[in-house]
Amino acid sequence: MAKAKIFSGICGFTTEVETEANGRVCNIKIESECEDIRKLAENLTEVDPFNEISFRRGMPKVYEMGQKYCAHAACPVPVGIIKAVEIASGLALPEDVKIELSK
């Protein structure tokens, strides 16, 4: 199992993701303060981890759902979901990701 707590930035919304590998799929549970991400969560309950880790196999399902439900292209939630899927599936080690922004 892997968890991600995603602080999305200026919108102020927090999203919590819990993923668990189950054979060739990874189950996903998402709780969010963002209405768009809650809609995404209703339609994204499992993925094939190997299809999520590379664009070479086509568009990852997480990004397809992000495009469909999330209006903001720079939203960090989809990448946070994929990172949690990677970790739960043993395809990556847990390490925090950070983007520092300034003007």
- The owner of tokens 């043993």 is 90
Tell me what percent of the chain is helix, strand and coil, each rounded to the nearest 5: 35, 25, 40
Return d(Cα 99, Cα 86) in angstroms, integer: 19
* Within-domain flag for 93: no
DSSP H or E segment with residue 16? strand 14-22
Query: How many domains does the chain divide into?
Result: 1
Helix (H, G, I), strand (E, B) or coil at 2: strand
CATH number at residue 38: 3.90.1010
pTM of the model: 0.95
Domain range enclosing 72: 2-88
94: in domain: no
User: Which residues lie across from 17 on neighbouring strands?
Assistant: 4, 30
pLDDT in tens, the chain (103 residues): 999 999 999 999 999 999 999 999 999 999 999 999 999 999 999 999 999 999 998 999 999 999 999 989 999 999 999 999 999 999 999 999 999 999 9
Closest CA to 19 of 54, 64, 68, 53: 53
